Structure 1
Amino acid sequence: MNRRITATALALACAVALAACGSDSDDSDSSDSGNGSGDGATRTVETAMGPVEVPENPQRVVVLDTAELDTVITLGVVPVGAVQADATQEFLDYLPADQLADIEVVGNIAAPNLETIDRLDPDLIIGSKVRDEERYDELSAIAPTVFSETVGAPWKENFLMHAEALGKSDEAEEVVAAYEAHAAEVTEALGGAEAAADIEVTMLRFIEGGNTRLYGRDNYIGSILTDIGVGRPAITDEATDGFAVEISPEQIDQADADVIYYASYGDPEASGEQGAVGGPLWEDLTAVQEDRAFPVNDQLWYLGIGYTAAHQILDEITETLT
């Protein structure tokens, strides 16, 4: 699908390019062994685990979740190691392949391989307490480790913390501003705030090995929909902790809305997507009857949890709804 290139998307690209240019010499050293920002200078970052001293200019970064991978790439930093999601066994497929090619796999989410991480000799590890609290001491013995409290809903706050740890706070401000401008563009493209609010959007995710989810507001994709001001169906308010409502295949009618975006975590056959989509209950949904049910990339819409993903999502929303 060809995406509309917006001015704000170009602004993000410029911000990332500036970040990369500002660290060209750093990148050239990133394959060298040994921790180091060169002069040994450090600064303190406030994290979910307390204050952490990090290198002023970290060179060898390991990330322990998909959101953190989106973050570092967005800020022009290519990590030496990263985890993968269980169901994908690959890095995020919407990120530039050339920037992912030399990243070493260091395990799966919430199951990092500490020996591999140690061998990579990082000078900064970025992750979250909710995923790896029990491994924090071991990780900290390898390198300064910066954890956010949790993942998903607080993705914007996490981004700023991780940017601070990377020494990229100025670049992060540019990224945030570009996203906010892009979101405002999408609202206008939908006819303005009032028109956008009249469009009810369901986020439907089929889960291999789990129940199907109707996503609420307190998560990554929910926050993006809030930022552009679209409406959500009433069932959204029943989401547990604001996160999601879990349904069975026989309850797919509860996904009814003006628009449905749907994806599968894992194999579509094993997740239940193939059995549900096209079935009699599916065909009765308003969005389906009006040709406004759209399959989307699970890695982009649900796993990326970052600003590079967010820009691409905003472009896809504009394409499908205008």
Structure 2
Amino acid sequence: MRIGIPKNACNEARKVRLAYHLPGRAGRGLLAAGCSSGAAEAPADGGETRTVEHIYGESEVPAEPERVVAVSVTSTPVLLSLDLPVVAAGTTGPSALTDDKGFFAQWAETADERGVEALPGPEPDVIVGNGFGADAVDEATYDKLSEIAPTVVYGESDTPWLELTEEVAGAFGAEDRAAEIAKEYEDLTAEAAGQLEDAGEIAAMTGTPEKFFVFTPESAQGRFFADLGLTQHEFAEGEAKATEGRADTVEVSLEKASAFGEASLLFVNTGGEEIEDYAKMAPNLEKTPAFEEDRAFTLGPAAFRLDYYSVPVVADRLVEVLG
């Protein structure tokens, strides 16, 4: 079974443009037209509401929202997967890995099919944002957005995507759909795991001209690999350095490529790099068993941030190169 979408991938944005520009953020403009002074008003039709908890407290949202706006581009796939009425979403800078609006390629087709516009879009009755990543909604931003419409902000960097999906589903009464997604994921990982039983040890990472950032078992990628039954490489003492303030990656200097041992190497190529590019960046990679035995592969940029739409893309790629 497949959760599936086109196998294009997308680049993780360094900067995300919010149409509701705020002082101190990109653009330094005023809030988009339609903002009001004071707290957001209750639904004009007097419809039912529900109180939902999120990282900045509680918000009163319509029980059946009609116009959900995702100000964080990375919150959009969660809302789309739950079949919520998303009318507008944040974007990243258009590139070869996005559509012309700046929607991530892995869910852009779904967004287009549902008529999702780039921000600002229609006036929202609910605003949803993420509490982590390049497009995080901080508390000051939350306060400003709450003047436009009830706003909820979910998720920390270590929140598994399925758990985040369940949290958002609980806020909008989409628990049944969240349960379906969980079952789809269970079926997908079981099917893929059956084809990866002989994959051997792996190490997955991003690379820079200075170092490798290797995903740990605590990362979203590491949890996904564990669900697929993959064995993740463990470094000996002194071979890797903890990434300051993060538990999802460790750092390995380019000079210590031998620390990867016998593991197959999986590169999350957020810039579209090829395997040859990594070898040029760190020539001693070519001395590792993975390169000598053609066990070094790119996973595609979709593997950088896992969600409902990227997981099947990455699973298919893993089966293709390791199965």
Same fold by TM-score greater than 0.5: yes
State the match for 2:72 in structure 1: 65
RMSD: 3.4
Q: 1:293 aligns with which of 292, 296, 299?
A: 296
CA distance in 2, matches of 1:162, 1:46: 10
Q: 1:38-76: CA deviations, max 9, x gaps?
A: 662111222112222211122212223344222122223
Q: What is the CA–CA distance in structure 1 between the aligned matches of 2:58 and 2:313, rounded to whole Å? A: 34
* Residue number among 172, 184, 196 corresponding to 1:166 in the alignment: 172
Cα deviation, residue 275, structure 1: 5.4
Local SS of the residue matching 1:203: strand
Residues 242-277 of structure 1 show CA distances to partners (whole Å, capped at 9, x for unaligned) of 3112244444444454322213334749xx982545
The separation in 1 between residues aligned to 2:90 and 2:76, in whole angstroms, is 9
1:254, 1:84 → 2: CA distance?
38
The C-alpha deviation readout for 1:62-102, integer Å capped at 9, x for no partner, is 22334422212222346222223469572211225252475
Counterpart amino acid of 1:202? A
For the residues of structure 1 that align with 2:149 and 2:322, how far apart are their CA atoms? 46
1:284 Cα offset (Å): 1.4
Matched, 1:55 2:87: no
Name the CA distance, whole Å, in 2 between partners of 1:78 and 1:251.
49
Match of 2:91 in 1: 84
**Are 1:203 and 1:262, in contact at CA under 8 Å, matched by a contact in 2?**
yes
Letter of the aligned partner of 1:74 in structure 2? S
Contact 1:215–1:239 (CA under 8 A) maintained in structure 2? no
CA–CA separation in structure 2 for the residues paired with 1:200 and 1:104:
43
- If the length of structure 1 is used for normalisation, what is the TM-score? 0.72
The equivalent residue for 1:151 is 157
TM-score, normalised via structure 2 length: 0.72
Q: How many residues align?
A: 274
Alpha-carbon distance change, 281 to 171 in structure 1, aligned in 2, over 3 angstroms: same
> CA 1:266/1:317 → structure 2, altered by over 3 Å: closer, same or farther?
closer
Alpha carbons 2:75, 2:130 under 8 Å: kept:
no
Return the alpha-carbon distance in structure 2 between the equivalents of residues 221 and 158 of structure 1: 15
CA distance in 2, matches of 1:213, 1:231: 18
**Paired-residue identity, %:** 27
CA 1:86 to 1:144, structure 2 compared with 1: closer, same or farther past 3 Å? same
Whether 1:93 aligns to 2:105 is yes
User: Equivalents in 2 of 1:36, 1:314: separation in Å?
Assistant: 42
Judge which range, 146-155 or 216-225, deviates more.
Answer: 146-155
Q: Hey, what does 1:317 align to over in structure 2?
A: 318
Distance 1:258 1:73, change over 3 A: same
- In structure 2, C-alpha distance between the alignment counterparts of 1:87 and 1:263, rounded to whole Å: 20
Kindly state the Cα deviation for residue 280 of structure 1 after the two structures are TM-superposed. 3.1
Which structure 1 segments of 5+ residues have no match?
Answer: 1-6, 14-32, 107-115
Q: Deviations over 1:183-231 (max 9, x none)?
A: 122222223xxx56xx2111121359x8531111222211101211211
Q: What secondary structure, in the 3-state scheme, does the structure 2 residue paired with 1:183 have?
A: helix
The match for 2:265 among 260, 275, 282 is 260
Is the helix fraction higher in 1 or 2? 1
- Superposition map of 1:1-322 within 5 A: 7=1, 9=2, 40-77=47-84, 79-85=86-92, 90-97=102-109, 99-100=111-112, 102-106=115-119, 116=120, 120-130=122-132, 131-133=136-138, 134-191=140-197, 199-207=200-208, 211-235=211-235, 239-240=242-243, 241-266=246-271, 268=273, 274=277, 276-277=279-280, 280-298=283-301, 300-303=302-305, 305-322=306-323
Contact kept? 2:192, 2:228, Cα under 8 Å: yes
Amino acid at match of 2:118: V
Partners of 2:272 and 2:319 lie apart in 1 by: 27
- Partners of 2:308 and 2:103 in 1: CA distance: 16
Instruction: Note closer, same or farther for the CA distance 1:264–1:207 as it changes in structure 2 (3 Å cut).
Output: farther
Q: SS of the residue aligned with 2:89?
A: strand
Amino acid in structure 2 at the alignment position of 1:295: T
